[in-house]
Structure 1
Amino acid sequence: MTGLRKWQADCLEHAKSHYLRHRDFFVQATPASGKTRFAAEIAKWLLEEKLIDFVICFAPTREVVAGMQRTFSIVLQQRFGNVIASVGAAYTYQSMEYQSEEFWDIFNNFRTLAIFDEIHHCAGHDPLLSNTWGQQIIRYIQDQATYTLGLSGTPWRSDDLPIALARYSDPEGRLICDYRYDLQSAVADGVCRAPRITLIDNPLIRLVEEKENTESVRGFSCFSQLLSESPVSYEDLLRHDDILNAVLDIGIHQLNAVRNTTPQAGGLVVATDIEHAQQIAEILHDKHQTYVVVTSKTPKAQQLIDQFRHDHTSWIVAVSMISEGTDIQRLSVCCYLSRIRTELHYRQVLGRILRKMGTEDREAWLYVIAEPTLRKYSQRIANDLPEDQSTLQAKKLQDRLTKSHADNANGNTEDTKENEDHPFSATKQNGKHELQVTEPPLLTLSFSQYYRQYLLSLI
């Protein structure tokens, strides 16, 4: 295993001093920066100093738990997991409510370090205003553990409840972090890729509504206007074949460009549900792309994810399976087609493509439909590093889209003649909206800027 990154070594020294006086240590470190490795180093130091007997970790998913067990075993050079003579183990937050009283006695009978990955999942200051996981922390760990370590890349909650074990300033109510490592620093240090976000829109949309023997036609200049002034929903856009083709074409074009220099690079498509994932998979199949689909109903989904992590398949289409903490370094392109529109989820998905593979692996690309809420979140990210002046012009993206349709029609990715424009409009038939082709082509408005200290502005 390689040496510590500068931020990890610096944070380790802060933690050593902090734990001499305090029980709880809270770290906010941007996604993909190496929080698990840092946590394992903290555990190693406390064990070597004979300040603790055991390490108990909690994380949001089984995939993250498995990754923690691998990392801790290597760093500690000891057994770590549910096996005899282990120095510790990792569990999901979901498992908390099913643990026996004997399990929780560990925190009373032994000196224990409790580590919470992505602790923002646990709301818990007041038992009456806590979620289930936060209640377990209050009841069994908060006053019993010898030391605690809270980790989060996005330390806030959509319901605005306080995070378990976190401290807040009074009266402002701002989260107090013992150590903070933001994405601006991570990009500057070469730890994370620089995110490039592209919003996809259309300047000319027609909504045709048929009622008995009459029909009305309304025009819209962008998705935002269509969504606010018509019955068409954001999910309608996500499920329309022409829109999916347009978004995926752009993603495929970018991934092909990346794979020219990094052949193992892969792409992630975040789908809305299982049916949607299958629809996307069919389109990727028609475009001669290699892919794998993973959902909660996929047999041996974790094995498929692990296989994708190490093979050369181009795309992984996922429904709630490739989320926070999932470590697939080769992911560098993402098409965000989820109906979930919370800032927490959006930023966590972006974090899946920020993990670097090498020194020259500097950028990641996220493509998203220009829905107003997602546009707002994207603009916040774009505003965080205004000194980054790199932009992708709309005209260039139009040319790319047109060429991509021609390429796929011919079943290749070589230079071809531009084909006819491939736009769409919206039609309502028998009470159901149906999007259809019209003029002109999809116009993509984009900005390609880094984050800068986005977490600071939200705390």
Structure 2
Amino acid sequence: MADLNLRPWQTTAIKKAEDWLLGADGGKHFLINAAPGSGKTICASVIAKQLYEKGEIDRTIVIAPRAEVVRQWSDEFKFVTGKTMMKVTGADHEDLAGYGLDLCATWAAVEGLLDGFQSICLSSRTLVICDEHHHAAIEAAWGRGANGAFAKAKYVLVLTGTPIRSDGQEPVWFAYDDNGRIDHPDKGSYTLTYGEAVDLDYCRPITFHRHEGKFTVSLPDGDNIAVSGTEETNLEGSLKRISGLQQALEFYKLACTPHYTKDGKADLHSYQGTMLEWAIAKLDDLRNEVPSAGGLVIAPSIEVAEYMAEIIETMEGEKPTIVHSRTPNPEAKIKAFKETTKKWLVSVAMISEGVDIKRLRILVYLPSSQTELSFRQSMGRVVRSLGPDDCSRAYVVMPTHRIFEEYARRVEMEMSSSKRGDSAEINFKLCPVCEEKCSKLETSCSSCSYEFPATKVKFKTCPDCDQLNPLGLSECQFCGCSFMHEFEVSLDEALRMGAIVRGMDIEETEVVDGEKYRREIKRELLSSGDEALINIVKRLPEESWGRLRKIINKQ
């Protein structure tokens, strides 16, 4: 405990939890609703430690969403309390009480461990910690299992970053008001929103980049139907009578459909390929500042995950880590990725919640689920901070899709204006050995002589003339073919439409201009000595510099 440097919010939450759980007028359920990455695990472990020291509990049981999160709990709980936490599964149901240790299991295992957990709660003064409590919906099997298993627990500590399930079902133990918000006494809960966590530098601010695709669906009679994420697709005449056509023309369904070249390889010019191209370029830039920075792809299916992994390997020259339900020992692969500097992790419903990989900076978001709960949980994978010196931003590349845009705007509006600015210009690269800041042009560290890996120029093939072009060009340097509009496979154009940042829609041309001119404009403003202008520099997001230049040029 003495070695822990608790954040102010954690100290306040711990005190509030003790007052509620141990007070004469309190209750046995305490809620911590805090943003992903803000430190709920440490906070809950300290509460458990103090309850042990006060002689209030004999055992602790932790329920977490995934096996990898269970492992993280076991490690952090022992770090804080010094107590060993045993990981249990449904196969351990016969004698849980006899182990004599603190226990940790997944939500999926609760039903199989019901008798054992009930026995522990009846025979011992037990603290139950429910991580990602939204899993315990009253009408769901896990909710019924949790309610039965832990009804006799002395205390229940509930942790969540997304307390309202998108399906409207209510997790056990809490009442809800007419608007779907948890109706729990203020004294029995502590809330830290994502916006507050950003303002306090616990989490990184996030920018959402929209990726537009205009698909052309060819019909048997030779007619074409245009489909995009920004316009409704209206069928007329006899087309209305074609069974399943309306569903087939859903933009998001088309965006999730992989496309292959004639020789069976993943098409780099597909919708997914253009998403990954932007993300790869952004990650390369971020790795100058954070050499270990990584990217996460959340795919809608195993087929699309393997397809996107193939594109990444072709573009990067490095095979990404891929994890899904058919992957042998996926938890070991996730752990290995976490402890290396490998660039990309591709997942299907494996990294959406709870998994703590602090070096992740970029999220390519193309999931099967379209709920706000899933959106925020996935977003939480890339906002975790490495510490007070971490000034980098988080980036989400997502389809131009009305539902996702609504979620993104809500997240943006949580942040105060003082934290909606751009991070410092990355005009250096950090030595991974001695952490010296070196010029981007240096081939070795001036302090420790570490030799930086040679920058690999990534290429893509022009679909018209087959010539190689550096990744990131908007048109072929040989024949002028546009890389931003013309695509095959029922895909006329795939164009990133810009960004949703600070609640504003920013045009793609302005984003490109911002990336091109921001360094020059910022240098002039910073050297002016004008405090008002310098404050603008500190707060203006990088995506807005092109808009500023456009406005100035009109004057």
* TM-score of the aligned structures, taking structure 2 as reference length: 0.70
- CA deviations on 1:86-109 (whole Å, 9 max, x unpaired) are 541111111111115244211011
**1:56 Cα deviation (Å)?**
0.5
Equivalent of residue 273 in structure 1, options 281, 291, 301? 301
Give yes or no for the alignment of 1:131 onto 2:140. yes
Match of 1:183 in 2: 194
Match of 2:276 in 1: 248
CA distance in 2, matches of 1:408, 1:38: 48
Match of 1:145 in 2: 153
The 3 A distance-change label for structure 1 pair 218 and 298 is closer
Amino acid at match of 1:183: Y
Match of 2:340 in 1: 311
- CA deviations on 1:202-225 (whole Å, 9 max, x unpaired) are 4xx4625242xx4223456x4232
Match of 1:296 in 2: 325
Match of 1:63 in 2: 68
CA distance in 2, matches of 1:107, 1:33: 30
CA distance in 1, matches of 2:155, 2:78: 20
- CA deviations on 1:126-152 (whole Å, 9 max, x unpaired) are xxxx2112112222313x110000110
Equivalent of residue 77 in structure 2, options 49, 72, 76? 72
The 3 A distance-change label for structure 1 pair 245 and 415 is closer
CA distance in 1, matches of 2:125, 2:415: 43
Match of 1:456 in 2: none
Alignment of structure 1 residues 61-210 onto 2, 5 Å: 61-82=66-87, 87-99=101-113, 101-124=115-138, 130-142=139-151, 144-169=152-177, 174-176=181-183, 178-202=189-213, 205=214, 207-210=216-219
**1:372 Cα deviation (Å)?**
1.8
Alignment of structure 1 residues 202-351 onto 2, 5 Å: 202=213, 205=214, 207-211=216-220, 214-219=221-226, 222-225=228-231, 231-233=248-250, 234-240=252-258, 241=267, 242-290=270-318, 291-351=320-380
**1:271 Cα deviation (Å)?**
0.8
User: Does structure 1 conserve the Cα–Cα contact (< 8 Å) formed by 2:195 and 2:411?
Assistant: no
CA distance in 2, matches of 1:154, 1:301: 25
Amino acid at match of 1:232: L
The 3-state SS of whatever aligns with 1:58 is strand
CA distance in 2, matches of 1:89, 1:99: 11
CA distance in 2, matches of 1:237, 1:255: 22
User: Does structure 2 conserve the Cα–Cα contact (< 8 Å) formed by 1:272 and 1:337?
Assistant: yes
Amino acid at match of 2:144: Q
- CA deviations on 1:208-249 (whole Å, 9 max, x unpaired) are 5242xx4223456x4232656664231221224411111001
User: Does structure 2 conserve the Cα–Cα contact (< 8 Å) formed by 1:54 and 1:88?
Assistant: yes
Equivalent of residue 421 in structure 1, options 482, 489, 492? 482
User: Does structure 2 conserve the Cα–Cα contact (< 8 Å) formed by 1:391 and 1:447?
Assistant: no
The 3 A distance-change label for structure 1 pair 274 and 208 is closer
**1:31 Cα deviation (Å)?**
0.8
Amino acid at match of 1:252: I
Amino acid at match of 1:372: R
Give yes or no for the alignment of 1:42 onto 2:72. no
User: Does structure 2 conserve the Cα–Cα contact (< 8 Å) formed by 1:323 and 1:352?
Assistant: yes
CA distance in 2, matches of 1:437, 1:42: 56
Select the structure of larger CA radius of gyration: 2
Amino acid at match of 1:40: S
The 3 A distance-change label for structure 1 pair 411 and 109 is farther
The 3 A distance-change label for structure 1 pair 346 and 59 is same
Gaps of 5+ in 1: 125-129, 393-403, 428-433, 452-459
Q: Percent identity?
A: 28
Equivalent of residue 363 in structure 1, options 393, 411, 423? 393
Match of 1:435 in 2: 490
Total equivalences in the alignment: 420
Higher RCO, 1 vs 2 (CA within 8 Å, ≥6 residues apart): 1
Gaps of 5+ in 2: 89-97, 236-245, 259-266, 424-455, 462-467, 505-555
The 3 A distance-change label for structure 1 pair 374 and 206 is closer
CA distance in 2, matches of 1:296, 1:121: 19
The 3-state SS of whatever aligns with 1:306 is helix
**1:436 Cα deviation (Å)?**
3.9
User: Does structure 2 conserve the Cα–Cα contact (< 8 Å) formed by 1:406 and 1:418?
Assistant: no
**1:179 Cα deviation (Å)?**
0.7
CA distance in 1, matches of 2:459, 2:233: 31
**1:336 Cα deviation (Å)?**
0.3
> Which shifted more, 381-390 or 317-326?
381-390
The 3-state SS of whatever aligns with 2:231 is helix
CA distance in 1, matches of 2:476, 2:486: 21
Amino acid at match of 2:311: I
> Which shifted more, 109-118 or 79-88?
79-88
Match of 2:520 in 1: none
User: Does structure 2 conserve the Cα–Cα contact (< 8 Å) formed by 1:208 and 1:426?
Assistant: no
What RMSD in Å do the two structures reach over aligned CA positions?
2.9
Match of 1:374 in 2: 404
CA distance in 1, matches of 2:225, 2:219: 12
The 3 A distance-change label for structure 1 pair 416 and 435 is closer
CA distance in 2, matches of 1:379, 1:446: 11
Amino acid at match of 1:149: L
* TM-score of the aligned structures, taking structure 1 as reference length: 0.84
- CA deviations on 1:380-401 (whole Å, 9 max, x unpaired) are 2233337366589xxxxxxxxx
